[in-house]
């Protein structure tokens, strides 16, 4: 009798393990690709800017962030707030100042220069890095 119970317990344990592994595999296989994550997209967008800052040996401190609308004098949108948070995350350890030109370097969503700054990097993706002159 005890042998039969042990046998049934072993079968139940094996079946439970198989179901558990199957659920894990199903859950794992339904994850979206890493490249679709907003943080990864922003990191890729800002790689050139980060590399340009490394080339000029600017590894910590303040850096400004200016979206296109704010540069044109418009009010900041909710989407631009979310983008600023993504830029802050992607540019760690730098302190990204929102809607600010009061930093030695500024990330701007623009294709034109800004008075008092020179463009030191243009990745061709709508984002440029400006250096205060």
What residue ranges in the chain does DSSP mark as E strands? Answer: 62-66, 95-98, 105-109, 117-122, 127-132
Same domain, 48 and 83: yes
Per-residue confidence (pLDDT) for residue 1, from 0 to 100: 73
- Per the CB < 8 A criterion, the answer to whether 48 and 92 are in contact is no
Same domain, 42 and 101: yes
Same domain, 4 and 53: no
Same domain, 73 and 98: yes
Helices (H) then strands (E): counts for the chain:
5, 5
Same domain, 103 and 55: yes
Domain count across the chain:
2
- Per the CB < 8 A criterion, the answer to whether 65 and 84 are in contact is yes
Same domain, 57 and 85: yes
Task: Residue 2: give the domain boundaries.
Answer: 1-31
Higher pLDDT, 123 or 62: 62
**Band of residue 16 on the pLDDT scale cut at 50, 70, 90:** very high
Least confident of 45-54, 78-87, 107-116, 119-128: 107-116
Same domain, 53 and 112: yes
The phi, psi pair for 109, rounded to 5°, reads -90, 90
Strand 95-98's sheet: what is its strand order?
Answer: 95-98, 62-66, 105-109, 127-132, 117-122
R_g (Cα) of the chain, nearest Å:
25
Same domain, 45 and 20: no
Q: Are strands 62-66 and 105-109 parallel, antiparallel or unpaired?
A: parallel
Same domain, 61 and 16: no
pLDDT tens sequence across 76-117: 899 999 999 999 999 999 999 999 889 999 999 887 778 899
pTM of the model: 0.74
Same domain, 45 and 81: yes
């Amino acid at each position: 009798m005890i042998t039969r119970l042990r046998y049934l317990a072993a079968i139940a344990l094996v079946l439970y393990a198989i179901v558990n592994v199957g659920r894990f595999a199903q859950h794992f296989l339904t994850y979206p690709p890493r490249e679709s994550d907003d943080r990864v997209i922003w990191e890729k967008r800002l790689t050139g800017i980060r590399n340009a800052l490394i080339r000029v040996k600017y590894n910590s401190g303040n850096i400004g962030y200016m979206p296109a609308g704010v540069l044109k004098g418009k009010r900041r949108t909710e989407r631009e707030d979310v983008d600023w948070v993504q830029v802050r995350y992607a540019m760690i350890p730098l302190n990204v100042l929102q809607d600010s030109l009061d930093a030695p370097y500024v990330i701007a969503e623009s294709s034109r220069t800004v008075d008092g700054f020179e463009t030191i990097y243009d990745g061709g993706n709508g984002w440029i890095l400006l250096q205060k002159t």
